[in-house]
Amino acid sequence: MAEKITPRSQDFSKWYQDVVLQARLADYSPVKGCMVIRPNGYSIWEQIQKDLDRRIKETGARNSYFPLFIPESFLKKEAEHVEGFAPQCAVVTHAGGKELEEKLIVRPTSETIINSMFAKWIQSYRDLPLMINQWANVVRWEMRTRLFLRTTEFLWQEGHTCHATHEESEQEARKMIGVYAQFAEEVLAMPVIPGKKSESEKFAGALHTYCIEAMMQDKKALQAGTSHNLSTHFAEAFNTLFLDKDGKQKAVHQTSWGVSTRLIGGMIMTHSDDKGLVLPPRLAETHVVIVPILSQSESKSRVLEAAEKLALQIRDQGEKSNLPYRVRVDIDQDETKQPGWKFHEYELLGIPYRIELGPRDLDKGQVVMTRRDLGKKEFVLLEEVPMRVMEGLDAMQKALLERARSFKDVNTFRVESYSEFQQKLDEPGGFFIAPWCESAQCEARVKEETKATIRCLPLDESFLPIREAGKCMVCNGSGSSVRAVFARAY
Amino acid sequence: MAEKITPRSQDFSKWYQDVVLQARLADYSPVKGCMVIRPNGYSIWEQIQKDLDRRIKETGARNSYFPLFIPESFLKKEAEHVEGFAPQCAVVTHAGGKELEEKLIVRPTSETIINSMFAKWIQSYRDLPLMINQWANVVRWEMRTRLFLRTTEFLWQEGHTCHATHEESEQEARKMIGVYAQFAEEVLAMPVIPGKKSESEKFAGALHTYCIEAMMQDKKALQAGTSHNLSTHFAEAFNTLFLDKDGKQKAVHQTSWGVSTRLIGGMIMTHSDDKGLVLPPRLAETHVVIVPILSQSESKSRVLEAAEKLALQIRDQGEKSNLPYRVRVDIDQDETKQPGWKFHEYELLGIPYRIELGPRDLDKGQVVMTRRDLGKKEFVLLEEVPMRVMEGLDAMQKALLERARSFKDVNTFRVESYSEFQQKLDEPGGFFIAPWCESAQCEARVKEETKATIRCLPLDESFLPIREAGKCMVCNGSGSSVRAVFARAY
């Protein structure tokens, strides 16, 4: 009954949609641009939340919850912010059967409502740093949506911190982009380029924005997380002031940082294949599925018993292992489905290990094991299975990262001239590193003519954009240039 | 600097507000009726989520996420449902800079939007039961709000299940009210009366509603969780049909069930006292705070070292214990605050154990321990502290439940006549068990004349309202009566 997945080579965008829908990760909803995250997809979000939440708390931030609604006047207090977000807002005009005196915006992000509270809670330098995070839904009205990658409503975490000095907020903004980069690589097995956004691409209201950019299998870029140094922009608009040690009232220096359910889309487009989802073991709800071959009634109970014993042994081995998660094992005892159907199904769902256990294998004291990313059947002695699973899960997590890393590296090119860039952008495609003079005109020209954008400016050890000897790829100007990563992006 | 908490005896409502604000559990927001849940309050919600989520998953439900917005026409499909919720809706009329063709309701609950998806996903009996849960925010425009107990926006979980038969959905609705009752007692240490709502109090759109009702320290009732058998009401409105084994198309039988951040308010009003929050250990983020007495500089490092060693020993003992949570220990090394100030602060915050460790105590090989609910200082030998903490945390969890249970029992009265009920309702107050003829008129009369309502109809072993020999308390009618719990409620 399984539908066919469009091959990546044929239509990458259709392939992505096929994987998401057929693996039942998400579905379109009757509300324009809003998606439904189905249990198979939501369990990935739960794994992301659990791991990232721990990392965020280790930085000292604590979770909180702020209102969904923002009074319209709040959004208007920071000029750049309202300009950036107003066109995307959903507006509540009526409630409780009456027209509201002041319209309420469904939060597109929470800097404004949170600052209205920070201003109340912060009095002195003793109250700083103040670091909070919230896991929440946000709404940004989008014209073109795509499951997980760009939806009108999405789930995310947004951190908001207040500091006494510019140095501290800068430190925090940098630290968090590092946390995201490490998380993306360790958990999503998704290599990223950390960098700084150009002025035109930074967050509306920020002094500057750091980001992580990942390369999808179609060689397009995906912005996977951002961290903003907000300076005192919102603090000044909201009077978020503190009495410093020197007895002076000062505006706090702030950061905000977030990642969203978009990460799930990025993870899918990094690892999955024409058979369906490929899930890094650290994101899997089920790591191993045992498919007992129950076709012969005389061997059925013997096979089932062996499957149950094996499942226990694998779980036990998991408890003793160093893996940073509990190894979860399922046995598929459904007799209304054929083993061949099940194999396809578990490939589609991205379960890291599939183990077939039939009566003949059992007689030989072996099973057939298949690691999802390798897809090759292996005969393994029963007693060796638990250890092999642990090794394989660990190896798979690393292999996915390495494969994605080399894909990104192979498809990242140094270009010196605009014509070379234009030649290579369609074919072979990829990320293009080139010198840029930092003028908005050159940046806009590239975007207009090629639909590629500056994804980020890679940073040196001091977190400054790397300076290049070369002349700007676009204008060939003689001033100093920075190194920029150009690519088409989601 | 600590503000004074209004004593419960003076003004219970003000006392509650003082505890919530001063323990920094929550704060009022600039958006009418919406609250901010601060880190001290949100950590309680996180403990609730972690524990209840596990219980919900054990029943077979899986987490998902459905859109925040509901097309207005969806809400109108189930007649009773729209009648119940329309007056409380917040309505999005504009988005992306344009007026919407169809207004969107910010979900007050998700039966309708979820049914629109269920109808798409369910084809045959093989797809049943389908059981999902979501953790989400919902909005109900309220006239009078109260922190945690009744807010315009609140956080909750809502489970939604589909079954092939009435028996199965009934079974599920009953099972979930049992899960909630057990959770409330085991984790919140809050005893509850499970029962059935009267027709006038049931969920808008349900066949019937089961609930758990708790008694607060002011003897008022709090509805702490509900579970609805929706029958085929929504399935018929949304065409959520399945092909049954007999080859016939049938509407699925559904349930929905939920608890919210209101539980935090209920927990506070069950256990806390005039010194502040009293937190059941299972909900505590920090179980033990060690306050080293650092006033004498010559003993400072010795005291701090002993505090750190003790903290480690308590954590180790926690790992070995049977407590269903990790025991978390903090050391307060802040030298800008006096020990006396700290003692009050930790009482206010409800930390289960406070341990004072000074140089003189250290010489004697002892510490001073204070369990939050007992408030009595005890000298305990250093080596006995870890074990005493484990025993004490376990004992405190049980003691809070027992104390609340006996409070509820002592303040629950059997009454036979309406006059007796009216006499006792103000003084002593409490829950009143009385026979009721099941007529809406009698119910309405009580509500109008006394502001008390039927909280629930307690159930027998077959989950049927218990029949009484007595005549209806209100009309004295001679027909058969059911046992009803009358009380004033939040």
- Side chain identity at residue A447, one-letter code: K
- DSSP strand E in A166-220: where? 193-196, 208-215
CB-CB contact of B432 with B421 (8 Å) = yes
Res A455 pLDDT > 70: yes
Residue range A290-317, pLDDT digits in tens: 999 988 888 899 999 999 999 999 999 9
| Confidence label for A477 from pLDDT (cuts 50, 70 and 90) | confident
Cβ–Cβ gap B92/A92 under 8 Å: yes
- Measure A395 CA to nearest chain B CA, in Å: 29
Q: Which residue has the tokens 């003790």?
A: B310
CA distance A217 to B480: 72
Average pLDDT, chain A: 96
The answer to whether A410 contacts chain B (CB < 8 Å) is: no
Cβ–Cβ gap A30/B104 under 8 Å: no
CB-CB contact of A468 with A208 (8 Å) = no
> Does a structural domain hold residue B281?
no
Cβ–Cβ gap B68/A137 under 8 Å: yes
> Does a structural domain hold residue A397?
no
Closest-CA residue to A89 (of B361, B97, B378, B157): B97
DSSP three-state, residue A433 = strand
CB-CB contact of A265 with A148 (8 Å) = yes
Token pair listed for B368: 């001073």
pLDDT of residue A3: 77
Cβ–Cβ gap A94/B96 under 8 Å: no
Where a domain ends, among A219, A238, A271?
A271
Residues from chain B contacting residue A68 (CB–CB below 8 Å): 34, 106, 137, 139, 153
CA distance B229 to B254: 6
Where a domain ends, among A237, A271, A305?
A271
Residues 326-355 of A with CB under 8 A from B: 336
Kindly report the CATH number assigned to the domain that includes residue A19. Answer: 3.30.930.10
As averages over each run of 10 residues, the pLDDT of chain B (490 residues) reads 86 98 98 96 98 98 98 94 93 96 97 97 97 98 94 98 98 98 98 97 96 98 98 97 98 98 98 98 98 89 96 97 97 94 97 97 96 97 98 98 98 95 96 96 97 97 90 88 96
Residues 12-71 of A with CB under 8 A from B: 27, 29-31, 34-39, 42-43, 45-46, 62-71
B-chain residue closest to A105, CA distance: B92
Residue range A44-92, pLDDT digits in tens: 999 999 999 999 999 999 999 999 999 999 999 998 989 999 999 999 9
Cβ–Cβ gap B42/A63 under 8 Å: yes
- Rounded mean pLDDT, A148-159: 98
> Does a structural domain hold residue B407?
no
On whether both B212 and B137 belong to a single domain, the answer is yes
The answer to whether A83 contacts chain B (CB < 8 Å) is: no
On whether both B431 and B353 belong to a single domain, the answer is no
Token pair listed for A214: 């990942």
| Confidence label for A478 from pLDDT (cuts 50, 70 and 90) | confident
On whether both B185 and B36 belong to a single domain, the answer is yes
The dihedral formed by the CA atoms of A421, A424, A428 and A432, expressed in degrees to the nearest 10: -10
DSSP three-state, residue B100 = strand
Long-range CB contacts (within 8 A, 24+) of B181-185: B181/B212, B181/B225, B182/B55, B183/B51, B183/B52, B183/B55, B183/B259, B184/B212, B184/B214, B184/B224, B184/B225, B184/B263, B185/B401
CA distance B212 to B180: 8
Residues from chain A contacting residue B136 (CB–CB below 8 Å): 137
Residues from chain B contacting residue A141 (CB–CB below 8 Å): 95-97
Token pair listed for A488: 């088409």
Least confident of A237-241, A449-453, B91-95, B297-301: B297-301
Q: Which domain holds residue A82?
A: 12-271
Residues from chain B contacting residue A37 (CB–CB below 8 Å): 64-65
CA distance B42 to A63: 6
pLDDT of residue A479: 78
A-chain residue closest to B21, CA distance: A121
The more confidently predicted of residues A479 and A78 is A78
Residues from chain A contacting residue B132 (CB–CB below 8 Å): 39
In SS3 terms, A153-175 reads as: EEEEEEEEEEECCHHHHHHHHHH
- Measure B360 CA to nearest chain A CA, in Å: 31
Residues 188-247 of B with CB under 8 A from A: none
On whether both B164 and B39 belong to a single domain, the answer is yes
On whether both B297 and B210 belong to a single domain, the answer is no
Residue B334 CB neighbours (<10 A): 12
CB-CB contact of A147 with A269 (8 Å) = no
A-chain residue closest to B46, CA distance: A63
CA distance A489 to A222: 6
Bond prior to A428 in cis (omega within 30° of 0): yes
Cβ–Cβ gap A96/B88 under 8 Å: yes
pLDDT of residue A2: 58
Of B36, B104, B336, the CB nearest to A66: B36
Of A71, A116, A141, the CB nearest to B95: A141
Of B37, B70, B91, the CB nearest to A95: B91
DSSP three-state, residue B245 = coil
B-chain residue closest to A72, CA distance: B31
> Does a structural domain hold residue B1?
no
Q: Into how many domains does chain A fold?
A: 3
Of B37, B104, B116, the CB nearest to A64: B37
> Does a structural domain hold residue B455?
yes
Residues from chain B contacting residue A155 (CB–CB below 8 Å): 65
- Measure B104 CA to nearest chain A CA, in Å: 9
- Measure A146 CA to nearest chain B CA, in Å: 15
Q: Which of A48, A92, A137, A285 to mutate to test the interface with B (most CBs of B within 10 A)?
A: A92
Residue A295 CB neighbours (<10 A): 13
On whether both B290 and B267 belong to a single domain, the answer is no
pLDDT of residue A468: 84
Residue A479's φ and ψ, nearest 5 degrees, are -65, 180
B-chain residue closest to A102, CA distance: B31
On whether both A74 and A25 belong to a single domain, the answer is yes
What secondary structure does DSSP assign to A53-99, as a single string?
A: HHHHHHTT-EE-B--SEEEHHHHTTSHHHHHHHGGG-EEEEEETTEE
Residue B59's φ and ψ, nearest 5 degrees, are -80, -10
A-chain residue closest to B336, CA distance: A126
Cβ–Cβ gap A94/B94 under 8 Å: no
> Does a structural domain hold residue A441?
yes
On whether both A95 and A221 belong to a single domain, the answer is yes
Kindly report the CATH number assigned to the domain that includes residue B456. Answer: 3.30.110.30
- Rounded mean pLDDT, A102-128: 97
On whether both B363 and B324 belong to a single domain, the answer is yes
Q: Which of A66, A117, A158 to mutate to test the interface with B (most CBs of B within 10 A)?
A: A66
The answer to whether B137 contacts chain A (CB < 8 Å) is: yes
On whether both A142 and A192 belong to a single domain, the answer is yes
- DSSP strand E in B374-458: where? 377-381, 412-414, 431-436, 453-458
Kindly report the CATH number assigned to the domain that includes residue A310. Answer: 3.40.50.800
Residues from chain B contacting residue A39 (CB–CB below 8 Å): 62-64, 132
> Does a structural domain hold residue A407?
no
CA distance B299 to B358: 9
Cβ–Cβ gap B30/A74 under 8 Å: yes
On whether both A388 and A416 belong to a single domain, the answer is no
On whether both B122 and B244 belong to a single domain, the answer is yes
Q: Which residue has the tokens 């061949």?
A: A340
Q: Which of A88, A91, A105 to mutate to test the interface with B (most CBs of B within 10 A)?
A: A91
CB-CB contact of A253 with A164 (8 Å) = yes
Based on the number of CB atoms within 10 Å of its own CB, is A480 exposed (0-12), middle (13-18) or buried (19 or more)? Answer: middle
Cβ–Cβ gap A66/B29 under 8 Å: yes
> Does a structural domain hold residue B400?
no
Token pair listed for B86: 């329309």
B-chain residue closest to A103, CA distance: B92
- Measure A124 CA to nearest chain B CA, in Å: 14
Residues from chain A contacting residue B155 (CB–CB below 8 Å): 65
Of A37, A65, A93, the CB nearest to B42: A65
- DSSP strand E in B245-348: where? 249-251, 253-260, 288-292, 329-331
Residues from chain B contacting residue A238 (CB–CB below 8 Å): none
B-chain residue closest to A68, CA distance: B153
Residue A300 CB neighbours (<10 A): 16
CB-CB contact of B221 with B455 (8 Å) = yes
Token pair listed for B28: 């009022």
Of B63, B87, B155, the CB nearest to A65: B155
What's the pTM value of the predicted model, to 2 decimals?
0.97
